[in-house]
A and B are shown apart, each in its own frame.
Chain A
Amino acid sequence: TQLLEQSPQFLSIQEGENLTVYCNSSSVFSSLQWYRQEPGEGPVLLVTVVTGGEVKKLKRLTFQFGDARKDSSLHITAAQPGDTGLYLCAGSTSGTYKYIFGTGTRLKVLA
């Protein structure tokens, strides 16, 4: 069973700081997604990456897919309290239509 490990598990930072969340696996993924989930809500898709080495930006969020397509990172610049939430990566291996979710990173940004 493939396993997606995220680090750190918890992160509490001050507003304005930068942070990076990592998503690692021993499996190769054909597609990897990042979600944010707020309390009492379902996850919301932020981005999908499919090419090794791909970098995508969404305002202050930068997503990178590893060259070998086994890992990914999410970098947030100048974090704001509105960025608070549970960040989840999810990977899909070639030939399947199923996304396996990572263990999650809970981020809290203090004003």
Chain B
Amino acid sequence: EAGVVQSPRYKIIEKKQPVAFWCNPISGHNTLYWYLQNLGQGPELLIRYENEEAVDDSQLPKDRFSAERLKGVDSTLKIQPAELGDSAVYLCASSLARGQGNTQYFGPGTRLTVL
């Protein structure tokens, strides 16, 4: 079974430029998460989707970040404009459903470098 797929794996951009990350979750997984991970630290949740509905976006900086999951499958996370402090790894994860103890499967992440 294919795991969570993310692309691109690496992205280098100049500050103030836009950037987008794509995630394809495991087939049949209704819940999708986007996390931000700084080097050597734990992931921080940005947004969680249940199907196509964003049910928790309290940590998403909405002035520059946006996300969508139009058909309840693939998702895109966008930053516009990017700032130097946005350099990090952006992880996507999916699970069958929400619920404590429900296993989250993570993708390999997109490493963003903002120059």
Instruction: Find out whether the CB atom of B101 lies under 8 angstroms from the CB atom of A98.
Output: no
Instruction: Find out whether the CB atom of A102 lies under 8 angstroms from the CB atom of B42.
Output: yes
Contacts of A30 in B (CB 8 A): 100
Contacts of B45 in A (CB 8 A): 98-100
Name B55's closest neighbour in chain A (CB-CB).
A97
Instruction: Give B16 Cβ to nearest chain A Cβ, in Å.
Output: 28
Partner among B40, B48, B103 whose Cβ is within 8 Å of the Cβ of A106: B40
Instruction: Find out whether the CB atom of A41 lies under 8 angstroms from the CB atom of B108.
Output: yes
Contacts of A90 in B (CB 8 A): 42
A92-B100, A98-B48, A98-B56 given; A103·B106 CB < 8 A? no
Q: How large is the interface on B (under 10, 10 to 19, 20 to 34, 35 or more residues)?
A: 20 to 34
Is B44 in contact with chain A by the CB < 8 A criterion?
yes
Contacts of B102 in A (CB 8 A): 97
Q: How large is the interface on A (under 10, 10 to 19, 20 to 34, 35 or more residues)?
A: 20 to 34
Binds B, one of A44-52, A59-67, A69-77: A44-52
Instruction: Find out whether the CB atom of A42 lies under 8 angstroms from the CB atom of B91.
Output: yes
Instruction: Give A47 Cβ to nearest chain B Cβ, in Å.
Output: 11
Instruction: Find out whether the CB atom of A42 lies under 8 angstroms from the CB atom of B42.
Output: no
Contacts of B41 in A (CB 8 A): 103-104
Is A31 in contact with chain B by the CB < 8 A criterion?
yes
Instruction: Find out whether the CB atom of A97 lies under 8 angstroms from the CB atom of B99.
Output: yes
Contacts of B93 in A (CB 8 A): 42
Of listed B91, B106, B107, residue having the most chain A CB within 10 A = B106
Residue positions of A touching B, CB distance < 8 A: 4, 30-31, 33, 40-45, 48, 50, 86, 88, 90, 92, 97-104, 106
Residue positions of B touching A, CB distance < 8 A: 4, 40-45, 48, 56, 91, 93, 98-109
Known: A42-B107, A88-B43. 17 other contacts (CB 8 A): A31-B100, A31-B101, A33-B101, A40-B109, A42-B105, A42-B108, A43-B91, A45-B104, A45-B105, A90-B42, A92-B100, A97-B48, A97-B99, A101-B44, A103-B41, A103-B42, A104-B40
Which 7 A-B pairs have CB atoms at the shortest separation, nearest pair first? A42-B106, A101-B42, A97-B98, A31-B100, A48-B101, A92-B100, A88-B42
